[in-house]
Amino acid sequence: MPVSTSSPKTARAPRREGRALHKGRQTKAAIVDAALGLATHIGLEGLSIGALADVTGMSKSGVFAHFGSREELQISVIREYHARFEQEVFYPAMEAPRGIARLRAMFDNWMKRTSVEIDSGCIYISGAVEFDDRAGPVRDALANSVLTWQAAMKRAIAQCKECGEIRPGVSEEQMLFEIHGLILALHYEARFLHTPGSMERANTGFDNILARYRADGG
């Protein structure tokens, strides 16, 4: 019978290290979740190690150890926001068939998320105001997240053209610009001005865009 050359101590060490690593990831995820909750209300620039320490009940050094800098914390929040955005908006829409059905599903899911963010705030919009004229990795992470979503929308529009549901000569960039404009206007009207009926107008605006660009003329 083979004889084990490892002692009980060395056998247990990897398991202890694995548990510690898992616990560390859980703690970091909890901090990011708390940071995202704060950022939606006070913006990315409002985040601080001290504020998160108060919210999570951890020490400042404990929070700092998971990120190393405020900048890395902000980037982690942007990545988490983008991951949740994809889970709620993008992936469910992929179940719809290619063409206008999928494009509409993407917009409808975007509107559902926007209806919640009218009360809580949107990282993409508040972050654009905070970092529009500031170079650096935080701005880059934020811009790349928005561009990733816009690229997905442009692919959906291109697929509408491939399916023959939107006229071949339609500019994908122009159509995306108009759709994105509806979301931005909705945030301004509903969140800032509290204009009644803003959600309905945004949905009507999307229908109007489709009617203008459809291959069958609506």
Structural domain includes residue 82:
yes
- For residue 39, which amino acid is it? A
Structural domain includes residue 198:
yes
Structural domain includes residue 35:
no
Note down the domain range covering 127. 70-213
- CATH number of the domain where residue 131 is located: 1.10.357.10
**pTM of the entire predicted model:** 0.84
Domain total of the chain: 1
DSSP codes of every residue in 122-160: -HHHHHHHHHTT--SHHHHHHHHHHHHHHHHHHHHHHHH
The number of beta carbons lying within 10 Å of the beta carbon of residue 214 is 15
Residue-wise pLDDT for 186-204, tens only, equals: 999 999 999 999 999 999 9
Structural domain includes residue 39:
no
Structural domain includes residue 8:
no
**Is residue 158 a contact partner of residue 174, using CB atoms and an 8 Å limit?**
no
The number of beta carbons lying within 10 Å of the beta carbon of residue 148 is 13
Residue-wise pLDDT for 37-74, tens only, equals: 999 888 899 888 888 888 888 888 888 888 888 899 99
